[in-house]
Amino acid sequence: MEKKEGVQDIADKVLKANKTQRQGRQFMLWILALVVGAALGWLGIKPLNELFTFIATVFTRLFQFIAVPTIALAVITTLAALGGNKNTGRIFAHAVTYTLLTTFCAAGIGLAMFLWIAPGNLPADVVGAGAASVPQNLEQLSYYDHILGVIPNNMIQPFLSGNVLAVMLIAASFGLGLAFMPKTENRETLLKGILGFQELLFTLIKALLYILPVGILAFAAQLSAQIEAGVIVGALGKYTLVIIGSNCIQFFLVLPVFLLLRGLNPISVFRKMSPAIAVALFTKSSAGTLPVTLASAETNLKADPAVSRFVLPICTTINMNGCAAFILVTSLFVMQNAGYSLDMPTMLTWLVVAVIAAIGNAGVPMGCYFLTLSLMSGIGAPIGLMGIILPIYTIIDMIETAENVWSDSCVCAMTDHDLEGKLEPAAAVEA
């Protein structure tokens, strides 16, 4: 038996090493695509640039195709996990409270950085013809009209129109309905079907990510061609600084302060959760990192399994600090380039929208990008700008995912600390 276990351990180590190598090769391939695309775009060959424009458009449409159903299913399956455990309500209340507090802080920092650094507009030829398609009566709509636009009058239209907020409202209703409906055979069958559909979409996302280097090459070539033609990149550089600066402040300052206020040592928590944070940095998927996050929380952090196995899967979907900042800053940047009037009430409204959208985001690679693109498409903003952002997003996604998993770890640590000795022993078994 000991010999068999030893062989199995060796096999597991080999598999892990191979997986790490594949992830490293994938990252290098993305960087290579970025460099090669930039070089080809700089050549200024018109037929080649037209081909890259076509490829970039195809990828943008594929992103739109898969984004909305993925977000909806992530919300449904997360909320459906709520149920009859007596401790569930207490654990969930702590997790949601910390999630909302940290996510609002992340979005608020993003807004403050956007106002301080003030990235300007890109030249009109970069924005392109998309600006002409922005509805002219948007500025005449009241906030009541915006709210009414989120409330659906049927289940199909929000999916057809890409109205992400309405889709999330439908998904939340379905998820809560599944959580509290009688535990019948029909419910289990329905839930299995939804989970199966979610696995199918995640498989499609993996396939899309497999061929993503082609898309990065095309978008990088587009950007390079525009720079070579005389496009000023100062505004784009400032936008990137706002995103990365906001994430760094949240990561190194705000989240440690939350831990200190709850009587926890942020350095100790970070050290114990560092394996999960490192995996998140390179996989760019908080959902894919979840097994490592759970193992680190229970083995290193010594969190109660009743807490970690409930909080971390939920936080993988709803606790998206980096995503909230990206959605807000990117939405404001795109709308500013589209000619929208960004007064303070509008920006504060979009801060709330960004938090809500981030909570409903799927913890998969480029999930924030998919969601932001859908939001901008839903309001008629020129989503061509999202193609300009895509080459930069490779690095942004790494930083955001690491921040998201670090935030998940902090929420788990604070919830476990608050409820230590207060949970019924049976909860650990049921979890």
> pLDDT by residue (tens digit) across 233-251?
556 778 888 999 999 999 9
Per-residue pLDDT band for 429 (boundaries 50, 70, 90) equals very low
> Are residues 402 and 274 in contact, defined by beta-carbon separation less than 8 angstroms?
no
Considering only residues 4 and 317, tell me which one the structure prediction assigns the higher pLDDT: 317
134 pLDDT higher than 60: no
Of 413, 406, 390, nearest in space to 56 by CA? 390
CA distances from 148 to 135, 158, 165, 182 (A): 17, 13, 11, 32
Interval 23-35 mean pLDDT: 71
Which amino acid type is present at position 47?
P
> In angstroms, rounded to a whole number, what is the distance separating the alpha carbons of residues 235 and 56?
22
Distance CA(370)–CA(72), nearest Å, equals 12
What local confidence, expressed as pLDDT, does residue 431 receive? 36
pLDDT above 90 covers what percent of the chain?
Answer: 19
Top pLDDT among 245 and 396 is at: 245
Find out whether 370 and 66 touch, Cβ atoms under 8 Å.
yes
Using an 8 Å Cβ cutoff, are 162 and 377 in contact? yes
Q: Is the pLDDT of residue 417 over 80?
A: yes
Band the pLDDT of 3: cuts 50, 70, 90: very low
Q: Which residue has the higher pLDDT, 52 or 163?
A: 52
Taking the alpha carbons at both ends of the chain, their separation in whole angstroms is 30
pTM given for the model: 0.65
Token pair in block for residue 58 = 């195809």
Q: Which two tokens stand for residue 31?
A: 């960087």
Least confident of 97-101, 186-190, 338-342, 346-350: 338-342
Over residues 354-363, the pLDDT tens digits come to 998 888 665 5
Tokens 């859908």 -> residue:
374
- Kindly tell me if the per-residue pLDDT of 346 is higher than 60: yes
Q: Is the pLDDT of residue 122 over 50?
A: yes
- Specify the higher pLDDT residue, 256 or 370: 256
| Rounded Cα distance, 375 and 357, in Å | 9
Number of C-beta neighbours around residue 413 at 10 A? 28
- Are residues 131 and 380 in contact, defined by beta-carbon separation less than 8 angstroms? no
Nearest CA to 216 out of 51, 32, 375, 422 is that of: 32
CA distance 158 to 170: 9
Cα distance between residue 56 and residue 45, in whole Å: 16
What average pLDDT does range 276-300 have in this prediction? 77
> Which of 3-12, 177-186, 390-399, 412-421 is most confident?
412-421
Closest CA to 302 of 278, 277, 268: 268
Q: What are phi and psi of 57, to 5 degrees?
A: -65, -40
The model's confidence at residue 135, banded by pLDDT at 50, 70 and 90, is very low
| Rounded Cα–Cα distance for residues 253 and 191 (Å) | 40
Instruction: Supply the pLDDT for residue 288.
Output: 66
Q: Which residue has the higher pLDDT, 196 or 423?
A: 196
* Residue from 41, 71, 17 nearest 217 by CA: 41
Whether residue 145 has pLDDT greater than 80 = no
Q: How confident is the model at residue 64 (pLDDT cuts 50, 70, 90)?
A: low
**Residue 30, H or E segment:** helix 2-42
Q: Exposure pattern of 56-75 as b/e (b: 16+ CB <10 Å)?
A: beebbebbbebbbbbbbbbb
- Report yes or no: 36 and 217 within 8 Å, Cβ to Cβ: yes
Q: Provide the 10 A C-beta neighbour count for residue 130.
A: 18
Q: What is the pLDDT of residues 166-212, one digit of tens each?
A: 777 888 788 888 888 888 889 889 989 988 887 787 777 667 767 77
- Check residue 50 and give its pLDDT: 83
Confidence label for 133 from pLDDT (cuts 50, 70 and 90): very low
